Amino acid sequence: MPLALYALTAGAFGIGVTEFVIMGLLLEVSADLGVSITQAGMLISGYALGVVIGAPVLTMLTGRWPRKTILIGLMMIFTLGNATCALAPSYGLLLAARLLTALAHGTFFGVGSVVATSLVTPERRASAIAVMFTGVTVANILGVPLGAWIGQQFGWRASFWVVTLVGMIALAVIIGLVPRDTRPQEGTDWRADMRAILHRPVLLGLVTTALGYAGVFAVFTYIAPLLTQISGMPESAISPVLLVFGGGLIIGNLVGGRLADRNLMLAVFGTLIALGLVLASMTLGLRAELSAIATTGLLGAAGFATVAPLQMWVLSSVEGAGRSLASSFNIAAFNLGNAVGAWAGALVIDHGPGLAFVPLAAALFPGIAAVIAFTGSRKPVAVPTPSECG
């Protein structure tokens, strides 16, 4: 893999840290700014909303720019947004800064996926996407726990200063390593780009992404109470178990990329089925500590094994214009799935059979997504040529 690809990985690492580090700092933020835990939680859902809205909009606005210029601009927004978070004197300004930072998220991964596929030979495109997304998995394993620890030891603002430094490093690496591209993207007319997005294979891919990841976050959002109340683990065991989850993320991410390189639609269908089976098995697996640890690791592997195939499916379903926009829409679909999954899990807990049945209910999402993927596989997918990719 070329060094430029690892520059994209560095940017993905920083974005992954800033998205999730706030989860471990809600108590500190709420106490410092004088808001409730629920209000502090809006910093998470607000960020996801910013990704959903910002990804397609910012991609369309930058449609005439060279891709390297876009990536540099996005990392500047990311760095400025995190510095603003560190300096925010009030909850309202912190939320606004989180929304600003989220604008860079979807478009970075959308345009970055296109750039990643253009850096390698056609048979390694899905693996290239997986390598870029490895930055997110490493962020979950190392960056988020470290950022939370820094925030607990030195104040939550220190965590955002560290992420700001990561953004500056990622910006320098992208400037130095990503090849210069003086040509504008292939889709300079946003109306033509949107027409390309509205084709049946692309829409099926977006829906499949949202549903598949809704299953992951329906469980992951409530993993702490599941481990403590259902598995009977002490709170001190949650962090080590999440390290197992993070290890599964890395393995699943790389395996999913390899599978997609061999047979794209079979990888999409197979990884969704595997995710559904893992979620269903967690209903029983969470009843004992050892099996709970094992199934949590499998959830990470199965969940992230879907990422590269789903991203590549949408990316390769667009003929001609709109590839970057379609890719950004799919990143928005991942985040929409996050929000839908958390909402569905809450329904099961508050109005359904209860916490223990959240994994079983979550399994319905990838099951439906697999049916949609099977429907989409009935028509051949047009894989872009190297010249089309950039």
Maximum alpha-carbon separation in the chain: 57
Say yes or no: 104 and 228 in one domain.
no
- Structural contact between residues 264 and 122, judged by C-beta atoms closer than 8 angstroms: no
- Structural contact between residues 255 and 311, judged by C-beta atoms closer than 8 angstroms: no
Q: What is the pLDDT, as a whole number, of residue 276?
A: 95
Q: Which domain holds residue 152?
A: 1-185
Q: What percent of the chain has pLDDT over 70?
A: 90
CA angle 248, 290, 216 (to 5 degrees): 40
- Structural contact between residues 327 and 114, judged by C-beta atoms closer than 8 angstroms: yes
Q: What is the pLDDT, as a whole number, of residue 219?
A: 87
Q: What is the pLDDT, as a whole number, of residue 381?
A: 44
The amino acid sitting at 317 is: S
Q: Of the residues 125, 158, 185, which one is the last residue of a structural domain?
A: 185
Q: What is the pLDDT of residues 322-347, one digit of tens each?
A: 676 787 788 888 888 887 887 888 88
Q: Of the residues 138, 164, 185, which one is the last residue of a structural domain?
A: 185
Predicted confidence (pLDDT) at residue 221 exceeds the cutoff of 70: yes
Say yes or no: 66 and 156 in one domain.
yes
Predicted confidence (pLDDT) at residue 133 exceeds the cutoff of 50: yes
Q: What percent of the chain has pLDDT over 90?
A: 26
Q: What is the pLDDT, as a whole number, of residue 190?
A: 64
pTM, two decimal places: 0.73
- Structural contact between residues 51 and 332, judged by C-beta atoms closer than 8 angstroms: yes
Say yes or no: 147 and 205 in one domain.
no
Q: What is the pLDDT, as a whole number, of residue 384?
A: 46
Q: What is the pLDDT, as a whole number, of residue 57?
A: 81
Q: Of the residues 185, 214, 239, which one is the last residue of a structural domain?
A: 185
Q: pLDDT-derived band of residue 225, with 50, 70 and 90 as boundaries?
A: confident
d(C-alpha 102, C-alpha 96), whole Å: 10
Q: How many CB atoms lie within 10 A of CB 241?
A: 19
Say yes or no: 283 and 176 in one domain.
no
Q: What is the pLDDT of residues 74-122, one digit of tens each?
A: 999 999 999 999 999 999 999 999 988 888 887 888 788 888 888 888 8
Average pLDDT of the chain to the nearest whole number: 83
Q: pLDDT-derived band of residue 354, with 50, 70 and 90 as boundaries?
A: confident
Predicted confidence (pLDDT) at residue 188 exceeds the cutoff of 60: no
Say yes or no: 136 and 216 in one domain.
no
Q: What is the pLDDT, as a whole number, of residue 275?
A: 96
Top-confidence residue, 88 or 144: 88
Predicted confidence (pLDDT) at residue 20 exceeds the cutoff of 70: yes
Say yes or no: 131 and 179 in one domain.
yes
Looking at 135-144, 230-239, 279-288, 301-310, which range is the least confident one?
Answer: 135-144
Say yes or no: 59 and 204 in one domain.
no
Tokens for 208, please give them.
């499949």
Q: What is the pLDDT, as a whole number, of residue 319?
A: 63
**Backbone phi, psi, residue 278, to 5°:** -65, -45
Alpha-carbon Rg for the chain, nearest whole angstrom, is 20
Q: pLDDT-derived band of residue 388, with 50, 70 and 90 as boundaries?
A: very low
Mean pLDDT throughout 24-53?
78
Q: What is the pLDDT of residues 242-271, one digit of tens each?
A: 788 888 888 898 899 889 888 888 999 999
Say yes or no: 346 and 303 in one domain.
yes
The enclosing domain of 312 has a CATH number of 1.20.1250.20
Say yes or no: 301 and 335 in one domain.
yes
Say yes or no: 219 and 147 in one domain.
no
Alpha carbon distance, N-terminus to C-terminus of the chain: 17
User: How many structural domains are present in the chain?
Assistant: 2
Predicted confidence (pLDDT) at residue 382 exceeds the cutoff of 60: no
d(C-alpha 172, C-alpha 166), whole Å: 10
Say yes or no: 365 and 295 in one domain.
yes
Predicted confidence (pLDDT) at residue 182 exceeds the cutoff of 50: no
Say yes or no: 89 and 165 in one domain.
yes
